[in-house]
Structure 1
Amino acid sequence: MKKIESITHSATSVTIAVFISRILGLIREQVFAYFFGAGKSMDAFVVGYRIPNLLRDLFAEGALGSAFVKIFSSGLEKEGVEKSFKIAQILISNFLVILIIIVLLGIIFANFIVSIIAPEFKKDLYKFILTTRLTQIMMPFLLFISLASILAGMLNSFRIFFLPALSSGLFNLVSIIIGIIGYYFLMNMAIDPIYAMAIGVTLGGLFQIIFQYPLVKNKGFSFSFSPDFKNEYFKEVLRLMFPIILGLSVVQINIFINTFFATSCGEGAVSWYSYAFRIMYVPLGLFGVGLSQALLPELSRQIARKDFTMAKDTFSRALIVSLSLSIPSAIGLFMLSHPLIGVLFERGKFTFYDTSKTSQILQILSLGLPFYGLSKTAVPLFYSLGKTIIPAFGSIIAVITNVVVILLTIKKLGINGVALGTSLSLVFQSLFLLAMAIYKLGVLDFKFTLRSLLTLILASLSLIGILEILNIFIFEKIFKIILSIPLGAIIFIIICKILGPEETYLFFEKFLKTLLRSK
């Protein structure tokens, strides 16, 4: 129980930092919505940003980050700090070379990449050229964010979670400031101001490195360029990475498929989907990322000690903590989708029609949120066990589900069919990963799991009830949101606190204590 409390405490620290980042991220999206709405320039930016972001998921937040944390955390446990720093120096040098080559190739072949991922844009020459140039401007973001992810992994291994997570807030802040200043500057020069937003993305990634490196240096690490592609630890990272890349490549194929189909759903569809996903990304990033980042180093240490009983207990309790966060978040997003989108984005060039379309997509995406949370909790287990091929198979299942659903529904549902494919793919992926987790660790505590699920069901029904009552009697969007979120949260937490077990409300308790201590 102490381990899950430690992980939950670490996760709450990450969550507070990520909360700041997500709020800044929403402000960034509000800037986009106000200045660009859901038109041609915004569609071009979304696709242009998605290209380096696809590779970012492989390196920064996927294969490289997870494999590095596995090696570095195990090294700290077995061989000490000095040896681990030497390993990190070699790994960073090697990946610096690799990433620079990938970025250069991305810039050179941007035209070709855009023509594959968004062929419909070729029907509008300006839109196609704009997307290509934005892609070239944002490609270096991949290099910066990948190196920032390695630095964050090192700090996480030292159980420092808050500041690395806060660095993503710095990215959003820099993007906002440069974007707004650049908007008016480029407007005066009669240049499409969307270029300022792209420059903000690239410089935001750079500032994440500048922010985190002094923190790592304070731990005794000093970087000097010393590549060694024959190093045994580098080979081990590659060995761990390739199955993860296989799995994440499948995920990127999923995103590619979604982008491909979204660009065929008419002007604005790509932007609507992007805005909706950004809203869903708030709880998704807050809880899923926080819990996952705190869980991986702890599970790696437990499995390095071959303490599988403790790892099983840690994992099963983490699953319930994940559900206690993602289920109420999904309910809130589904029932408050229209007022949320309206309050956040409906101004400037973002119209009521855009709100309606975006809120429909958000409702569909929210259905997959609990399953995404389960997957984010399960994946660190397989990375810790060295069974990285299992998440890869889970991703393949997700892609197959996504394609089938989109093909069956896109003619009738349009962009909503793409959203439905995303949600159902998360459902099938998470069910597979949970089945494999049980196979590897053994059956989870039935009594504990059943009690937890019943509590969460009763708390969820109460949450739905209070939100429906408020929806009937309150018409003003802003007041509906202001009342619904705190009242719904209070009802949910009280029921969990009464019925138990502790994991159903543990995160909220730690979150409040951390906030009070910070004051």
Structure 2
Amino acid sequence: MSEKKGILFQASRAATGTLLSRGSGLVRDVLFAYVFGTSFQYDAYIVAISIPFLLRSIFAEGGLSSAFVPIYKRSKDKNAFATGVFLFLLFTAGVVSLLLAIFAPNIVYLFATGLRQNAKAFAYAVKMERFTAFFLLFISLWAWGAGILNSHKSFFVPSLSPMFNNLFIIGGILLSPLFHPHILSVAIGFSVGGAFQFLFEMPFLKKIGFKPVPLEDKSERNEFLRAFFFTSLSVALSQTNFFVDTNIASRLASGSISILQYANRIYQLPMGILIVSLASVYLPEMSEKRNVQELKASIHDAFSKLFFIMIPSTFFIALFSRQIIDVIYAHGAFNTQSAFLTSEVLLIYIMGFPFQSSIIIMNRALYAFKSAKTATLVTLFGVLTNVVGDLTLGLRYSVNGMAFATTLSAMVSFTILYLIERKKYSIRISEVKGEFFKILFASLLSTIPLYLSSLIKNPWFSLILGFFSFSISFMVLSHLFKSENASRMWNIFNIKRKKS
């Protein structure tokens, strides 16, 4: 199997696990919409989980993986280095989790100042925060295990394990009538699920040979701490967008936080299943490159694959945003007005999908180039753009204005990143422009059967028919246009069919 085919296979493994995980997440969100709709209880829950989620991006997936994986890959004593990082996370994330639980009222007020206008919502958020705070500890340890497994080219287990968190949340929703407030059982399930998510990885870590070893050489640990500081700072700055969004939304009409969250869940489906899976494979791949030329080739290959995922996903979600929301959410407590507002926000979010997807790959390239400081500065500029957009567009145009501020921030960050990497490392999207235009034209032509499907009034039938007609049309056309990625997919399918 060639290197490029190997990467595609590994990415497909990661995507399969993520698909199963996100599928359970979709069931979770359908139940949320049915039981709680866009109520103040769900607003309170979102605030309560937002705080550990914000820190999760710093301690776990974003900051940790980007700093940990490159050093672990070249470490002489991998078990000793991994043990040192584990102890660091156990202490720091544990202390921070405890502080979040103790100072829950102050933290909740800081994150959602407008929630005080509804005394019940604020009290519920504080009560749930005391449970959800410890999710930070569990998810940090999970990300540590995921980094080790990914470094050993084991992508399926880390991508699948979040399913346990979703299953426990689903259990919390089903048991919610037994609790007061009802939403409290969901917060408990959220934290317990985080613990099981980490424990699921342990047998697989043992299988690849990990065992705790005392750390004697402190040089790699110190290098990790320096890298972790800058990557965490970069991620913390990017998550400021989420903090500002939640705070501004808490000052808008009741249910605004919920609307943004529901739309963001759909927006994150292709991001999490496809883009993040691709990036998780390419980070260790880029870290192994011995010189700039090899690294550039890897980045250009990553962009080629990114186009194959990003462009058709953007077209499909943009044209079918209302059908998607109607089919997934418009049941029970989720009324027609909520569906209309959520679909509008989703449409605005998806306009920024190509830029946000590219940023994920480009940031991985900067970490591989050991330019974490540059990534941090670019992120800071993007955050400032989003904050200004929230304070102007958000307060004037409500949730639509806030969604546009997020999209605008992604556009600005992408432009700056591309100009920097083009000048400093000669990274050029034009290197893969042939693949870009083949996929673009295939996507454009595939919107014809998609448009015809959208004329069907039944949203279920329209969505199902639209998805399959668009997918088949895109795969056939991209293959006819001789897209490199379509040919790879076609060859993999033919090989599997011959074996069966």
Q: What TM-score do the two structures reach when normalised by structure 1?
A: 0.92
Aligned equivalents of 1:450, 1:250: Cα separation in 2: 32
Aligned equivalents of 1:54, 1:507: Cα separation in 2: 37
Aligned equivalents of 1:444, 1:123: Cα separation in 2: 50
SS at structure 1 position matched to 2:288: helix
Indicate whether 1:184 and 2:181 are aligned: no
Aligned equivalents of 1:119, 1:356: Cα separation in 2: 27
2:68 alignment counterpart: 68
User: Counterpart amino acid of 1:247?
Assistant: S
- CA shift, 1:248, in A, is 1.2
Aligned equivalents of 1:111, 1:516: Cα separation in 2: 58
Aligned equivalents of 1:39, 1:173: Cα separation in 2: 22
Pair 1:360–1:128, CA change in 2 (3 A):
same
Matched-pair contact (CA < 8 Å) for 1:463–1:491 = yes
SS at structure 1 position matched to 2:253: coil
Q: CA offsets, 1:27-65, max 9 Å, x none? A: 001111111110010000011110100000111111112
Q: CA offsets, 1:437-490, max 9 Å, x none? A: 2233325374x4221222122122112222222223x11100111111111112
Matched-pair contact (CA < 8 Å) for 1:38–1:354 = yes
Higher deviation after alignment, 234-243 or 20-29 = 234-243
1:204-283 alignment, distance < 5 Å: 204-223=193-212, 231-283=218-270
- CA shift, 1:397, in A, is 2.1
1:51 alignment counterpart: 51
- Structure 2 residue aligned with 1:433, among 408, 417, 423? 417
1:302-451 alignment, distance < 5 Å: 302=289, 306-444=290-428, 446=430, 448-451=431-434
- CA shift, 1:307, in A, is 3.0
- Structure 1 residue aligned with 2:98, among 79, 97, 104? 104
- CA shift, 1:172, in A, is 1.2
Pair 1:268–1:517, CA change in 2 (3 A):
farther
Aligned-residue Cα RMSD (Å) equals: 2.1
Matched-pair contact (CA < 8 Å) for 1:333–1:363 = yes
Pair 1:506–1:429, CA change in 2 (3 A):
farther
User: Counterpart amino acid of 2:161?
Assistant: S
Aligned equivalents of 1:3, 1:285: Cα separation in 2: 24
Matched-pair contact (CA < 8 Å) for 2:311–2:440 = no
Pair 1:45–1:449, CA change in 2 (3 A):
same
2:160 alignment counterpart: 166
Q: CA offsets, 1:190-237, max 9 Å, x none? A: x1110111111101111111110110011221237x588x92222111
Unaligned 5+ segments in structure 1 are none
- Structure 1 residue aligned with 2:470, among 481, 485, 488? 488
SS at structure 1 position matched to 2:201: helix
Matched-pair contact (CA < 8 Å) for 1:13–1:514 = no
Matched-pair contact (CA < 8 Å) for 1:4–1:318 = no
Matched-pair contact (CA < 8 Å) for 1:93–1:227 = no
Matched-pair contact (CA < 8 Å) for 1:333–1:366 = yes
Aligned equivalents of 2:49, 2:199: Cα separation in 1: 22
Matched-pair contact (CA < 8 Å) for 1:91–1:227 = no
Matched-pair contact (CA < 8 Å) for 2:394–2:405 = no
User: Counterpart amino acid of 2:36?
Assistant: F
Aligned equivalents of 1:517, 1:380: Cα separation in 2: 37
Aligned equivalents of 1:212, 1:233: Cα separation in 2: 24
Aligned equivalents of 2:495, 2:117: Cα separation in 1: 53
Matched-pair contact (CA < 8 Å) for 2:296–2:427 = no
Matched-pair contact (CA < 8 Å) for 1:156–1:293 = yes
Aligned equivalents of 1:338, 1:516: Cα separation in 2: 36
Pair 1:358–1:300, CA change in 2 (3 A):
same
User: Counterpart amino acid of 1:388?
Assistant: A
Aligned equivalents of 1:56, 1:517: Cα separation in 2: 44
Unaligned 5+ segments in structure 2 are none
Aligned equivalents of 2:190, 2:123: Cα separation in 1: 19
Pair 1:8–1:113, CA change in 2 (3 A):
same
Aligned equivalents of 1:42, 1:280: Cα separation in 2: 19
Aligned equivalents of 2:140, 2:494: Cα separation in 1: 33
- CA shift, 1:164, in A, is 1.4
Q: CA offsets, 1:162-182, max 9 Å, x none? A: 1111111222122212431x3
Q: CA offsets, 1:128-179, max 9 Å, x none? A: 1111111121011010011011101101111111111111122212221243
SS at structure 2 position matched to 1:222: coil
SS at structure 1 position matched to 2:28: helix
Kindly tell me the number of residue pairs found equivalent between the two proteins. 500
What percentage of residue pairs aligned between the two structures are identical?
28
User: Counterpart amino acid of 1:88?
Assistant: A
SS at structure 2 position matched to 1:414: helix
Matched-pair contact (CA < 8 Å) for 1:12–1:507 = no
